[in-house]
Amino acid sequence: MVPLSHYLILSAILFTIGMMGVLIRRNVIIIFMSIELMLNAVNLTFIAFSRFLNNLDGHIFAFMVMTVAAAEAAVGLAIVISVFRNKPTVNVDEMNIMKW
Amino acid sequence: MDLIIDIIKILFIFTLIMGVFSPILGWVERKQSALMQDRVGANRADIFGFTMIGLFHPLADALKLMTKEDFIPQGANKVMHTIAPFISFVPALIAFAVIPFGGEYIIHGKEINLVIADLDVGLLYIFAFASLATYGAVIAGWASNNNWSLLGALRASAQMISYEVAMGLTIIGVFMVYGSLKLTEIGAAQEDFFKWGIFLQPLGFVMFLAAAIAENKRIPFDVAEAEPEIIAGYFLEYSGMKFIMFWMAEFIEIITISGIVTTLFFGGWNIPFVPTATLISFFSSLGDTWANIITMLIHIGVFFSKIIFFIWLQMTIRWTLPRFRYDQVMKLGWKILLPLSLLNIFVTGVVILLFKK
Amino acid sequence: MELLAFYILGAGAVVTAVMMVIHRNPIVSALNLIFTMFCLAGIFVLLNAHFMAAIQILVYAGAIMVLFIFVIMLLNLRGEDWPPLTWKKLLASFIGILFVGYSLIKIIGIFRGSMLPVATPLPEDFGTTRIVGEKLFTDFLLPFEVTSILLLTAIVGAVMLAKMKIDKG
């Protein structure tokens, strides 16, 4: 039997990796994928708690998170494509036209 | 004991698909095209003068492709180029694990369920693995470092994502009617002839078959490999064994689609007007165990005859219709199949609400 | 047995996640992330969440990641060079690792001494489609319906962004 702390630590590690990805990479698609990884880590926490508290609410929450992730990916990638059409780059440092 | 039964079931399905169905499908496809175009068809390969109506052709093809040079183009990503055929091959094969090829039988006091893995999420499992087949096409096209391949991969990915949505929504009607995602339960619910999916979900059947053929990228939806336009699309740069794997993946997917259609819409292993209990009592003079065994064999035979019928149907469609244009394929998926499947769900819901009180 | 499966899947998830972050080639990154999703789906099965595992593969690996790969291929991104390492960056990452390691040790320490819930035997049908669906359509009906509005908004937004003509002045 795997104790709950194992799942939580794994989730924390994955979340940290995702956060590192957002912080150190400049490719906007990799940043997006890191965000997906962070959402996944959160889902793991939800489902782990759900199992150990014997309560299905966590599953529903994870379900909602997945919906949000899907919507976010669709809109985000559409934005990336339209930015790319305007200025052929995926580097977030070069997407600075809205910066004051 | 359970383990041995499981292994027997896996081996049975595996040898039947890999060893019998998929090699012969190559021959069937050629014979079907010959029949429909009024030609003689494959009949040249012979061993000591015996041609066996061309049945040696798959053997000759296999020998030829196995001894061919395994070519990887310059500038291709070697690792990706090598694993892509496996990625398209494996999901097609393991989707069959949840399709029941018979009901439940009691042999020597032991209950035998003729399905490899009776998952609670059976249909979702099939969809999950069908959606993975996209990666095979996409990675193959990308790793080949060829513009035509990349175009084919782009077309394949867009088409497969679109039709996955339509395919998923057409099926919802089915499990609304049967109230289960378990394929064994859906199959068992169709013991009565008038409860077959085709009567309860006629529109769902037509749309599912169309979406499934599109998902398999066969004519009339084979824009991803359209020879006159982009040569062969995503598997243009493949030869030898890897080419066979793409080919086999397509054939196995035909078999899997036939299996799903049979289970969902055509009663699975059930024979019209002959319930399992009648069949067992008919053979009961042979003793309980033998009656069960004979019933089991009959049901397996019925199931695979239905599968063969649907394979034939798909072959006929393939050699009848011309290829759609790419924009027509997308239009059909998003503007016709999607709204129709939503309408189907709505009507099914209303009917269930009105009549199933 | 379960512990072993957990360790294999967990290690797979962590290794592929790291590969996803550090690999130059976006396609390889995406494939690594798909593998991470698979490992997580396996862990969901260990947690008796069969429905969520299927949905995880269906939605994440089957739809979202295909979209990512589609966009990467559409933009034809073949990889990028890492920016050169400077002393500043090395120092920053060293401090970062120090902090992360310290907080990890702290977290583990907290878990050691705390009262986390322990596994109780579950009902037979925990995490099956029927139960999750019943919950979704009774207790959580309003959030579920709101989700549909969210998805509709996303569809309209994506279509509008894709159809928008950009004036290159």
Predicted pLDDT at C137: 87
Q: Which of B256, B263, B251 lies closest to B303, judged by CA?
A: B263
Q: Is the peptide bond before B228 cis (omega within 30 degrees of 0)?
A: no
Question: Looking at this predicted complex, what is its ipTM?
Answer: 0.87
Predicted pLDDT at C83: 62
Predicted pLDDT at C166: 58
Q: Tell whether A55 is within 8 A of chain C (Cβ).
A: no
**DSSP-derived secondary structure for A53-91:** TT-THHHHHHHHHHHHHHHHHHHHHHHHHHHHHHS---B
Q: What is the mean pLDDT of residues A64-90?
A: 85
Chain-centroid distance, C-alpha A84: 22
Q: Delimit the domains of chain A by residue range.
A: 26-91
The mean predicted confidence, pLDDT, of chain A is 84
Residues B96-135 have pLDDT tens digits of 888 888 777 777 777 777 788 777 788 888 888 888 888 8
Report the percentage of chain B scoring pLDDT > 70. 99
Which H or E element spans position B106? strand B104-107
Q: Tell whether B138 is within 8 A of chain C (Cβ).
A: yes
Residue from the list A6, A66, A75 with its beta carbon closest to the beta carbon of C59: A66
Predicted pLDDT at B329: 85
Predicted pLDDT at C79: 63
Residues B52-71 have pLDDT tens digits of 777 777 778 878 888 887 77
Cβ contacts below 8 Å, chain B against chain C, sum to 72
Q: Which residue(s) pair with B104 in the sheet?
A: B113
Token pair recorded at residue B41: 């068809």
Q: Tell whether C70 is within 8 A of chain B (Cβ).
A: yes
**pLDDT of B269 higher than 60:** yes
Q: In whole angstroms, what is the distance from residue B124 CA to residue B159 CA?
A: 20
Q: Write out the residue range of the structural domain in which residue C57 sits.
A: 2-78+124-162
Residues B303-332 have pLDDT tens digits of 888 888 888 888 888 888 888 888 888 888
Residue from the list C57, C76, C128 with its beta carbon closest to the beta carbon of B128: C57
* CB-CB contact of B240 with B70 (8 Å): yes
Q: What is the CATH number of the domain that holds C70?
A: 1.20.120.1200
Coil, strand or helix at C48 = coil
The mean predicted confidence, pLDDT, of chain B is 82
Q: Tell whether A65 is within 8 A of chain C (Cβ).
A: no
Instruction: Say whether pTM exceeds 0.90.
Output: no
Q: Which of B132, B145, B150, B180 to mutate to test the interface with C (most CBs of C within 10 A)?
A: B132
Which H or E element spans position C160? helix C141-163
Q: Is B287 left (phi over 0), alpha (psi -120 to 50) or beta?
A: left
Domain count of the fold of chain C: 1
Per-residue confidence of chain C (169 residues) as pLDDT tens digits?
788 888 888 899 889 988 888 888 888 888 889 889 989 998 988 888 888 888 888 888 888 888 888 888 888 776 665 666 677 777 877 888 888 788 878 777 776 666 677 777 777 777 778 888 888 888 888 988 898 899 899 888 888 887 776 555 4
Confidence band of A100 (pLDDT split at 50, 70, 90): low
Residue of chain B whose Cα is closest to the Cα of C41: B128
Residue C10 inside a domain? The answer is yes
Q: In whole angstroms, what is the distance from residue B199 CA to residue B355 CA?
A: 16
* CB-CB contact of B17 with B304 (8 Å): no
Q: In whole angstroms, what is the distance from residue C55 CA to residue A40 CA?
A: 12
Predicted pLDDT at C84: 62
Residues B160-209 have pLDDT tens digits of 888 888 888 888 888 888 888 888 888 888 877 777 878 888 888 888 88
Q: Tell whether C30 is within 8 A of chain B (Cβ).
A: no
Q: In whole angstroms, what is the distance from residue C9 CA to residue C39 CA?
A: 5
Predicted pLDDT at C169: 46
C-alpha dist (Å) from residue B67 to B26, B64, B239: 18, 5, 10
**pLDDT of B241 higher than 50:** yes
The topology (CATH level 3) of A26-91 is: Helix Hairpins (1.10.287)
* CB-CB contact of B103 with C37 (8 Å): no
| B124 to C62: CB separation less than 8 angstroms, yes or no | no
**pLDDT of B280 higher than 80:** no
Residue C107 inside a domain? The answer is no
From chain A, the residues in CB contact with C40 under 8 A are: 40, 43-44
From chain C, the residues in CB contact with B121 under 8 A are: 50-51, 53-54, 128-129
Neighbours of chain B (3+ CB pairs under 8 A): C
Sequence-ordered alpha helix ranges (H) in chain B: 2-14, 22-36, 57-67, 78-94, 122-143, 147-178, 183-189, 197-200, 202-215, 227-230, 240-265, 276-282, 288-320, 326-331, 338-355
Residue C147 inside a domain? The answer is yes
Q: What is the mean pLDDT of residues B24-35?
A: 83
Q: Is the peptide bond before B220 cis (omega within 30 degrees of 0)?
A: yes
| B181 to C50: CB separation less than 8 angstroms, yes or no | no
Q: Which of C27, C17, C103 lies closest to A39, judged by CA?
A: C17
Q: Tell whether C129 is within 8 A of chain B (Cβ).
A: yes
Chain-centroid distance, C-alpha B117: 17
Predicted pLDDT at C115: 67
